[in-house]
Amino acid sequence: MSFLSLFKKSGKEKEVDESVLTDTFHKSIKDRLFKCLSKSILDLPIIVKESSVHSPVGREWLLRSGEGYCIRDVAHLQGRMVKGFLVNLASEFNIGSTEQGQFCLSVLLDEIQGQVDSTGDVKWGTSLLAVAQSAVYKAIEWIPNDVLTMDVEAVSETFEGLAVRNLTKDLNDFFKEYPRIVEALARLEGTTGAHLVGMQGGLKSIMDKALQKDKPVLFYDLYQRDTTNTFKKEAQ
């Protein structure tokens, strides 16, 4: 299917065909989101060569050390992880200074923080940052003992494979439960792509109608699932 089929012709201007911003389109957005978030995590210096800086008596907490390597605690790399999320997201989706683009970055920061309960603590599973860290901890825990006796390259390679496996499951589960960032990016992609499609309404309209954090279903009032007539009209 041509990407142009995502849009319908109007007598005055091109507009996003909301009916086709559904499963296939959202999956492509989620795949790209997963790609840039995973890159941010895998780029972190978690497993590093042993040095005077990365030592058990140095400034940083270590989870483990071995033959010429150290495994750093990802909790002490939170700032770099968040920066990586923002930079890679902006790069992947060509986010500039438009209000829709900046809103996507704001939603990402909101999801990174998570939801807070009445006691002031973050609810488990609602924070993107906590979910990402948990996936990293599981990957480190699952590195086989025989690999841990090897060098930094072998340990790093095994860790990355386990981390990708955990991130694939955990991030997908997170986005199923909290799809706001995927929905926001889908809207951005549909309105600011290379095709320069126009769209009625602005940031206030998007926020008022669809991106309220506690709504269980997002954008369903805007989407119509049956696209048959749209495709017929496009072909005429």
**Nearest CA among 64, 40, 58, 59 for reference residue 140:** 64
pLDDT of residue 164: 95
Please classify residue 194 by burial: count the beta carbons closer than 10 Å to its beta carbon, then call 0-12 exposed, 13-18 middle and 19+ buried. exposed
Spatial separation of the C-alpha atoms in residues 135 and 116, rounded to whole Å:
21
pLDDT tens sequence for the chain (236 residues): 333 344 444 444 445 545 445 677 788 899 999 999 999 999 999 998 887 565 555 555 788 888 889 899 998 899 999 999 999 999 999 888 778 888 999 999 999 998 877 777 777 788 999 999 999 999 999 999 999 999 999 999 999 999 999 999 999 999 999 999 998 998 888 775 543 333 444 444 444 455 555 554 444 444 433 444 443 444 44
pLDDT of residue 22: 63
Three-state secondary structure call for residue 48: strand
Residue with tokens 């309960």: 117
**Residue-level length of the chain:** 236
pLDDT of residue 119: 77
pLDDT of residue 50: 81
The H or E element spanning position 139 is helix 128-141
pLDDT of residue 81: 95
Provide the angle, in degrees to the nearest 10, between the axes of the packed helices 128-141 and 99-113: 50
Q: What are phi and psi of 25, to 5 degrees?
A: -65, -45
Residue with tokens 């995973």: 38
Spatial separation of the C-alpha atoms in residues 214 and 41, rounded to whole Å:
27
**Nearest CA among 15, 193, 4 for reference residue 93:** 193
Q: pTM above the 0.75 mark?
A: no
> Strand 62-65 relative to strand 47-49: parallel, antiparallel, unpaired?
unpaired
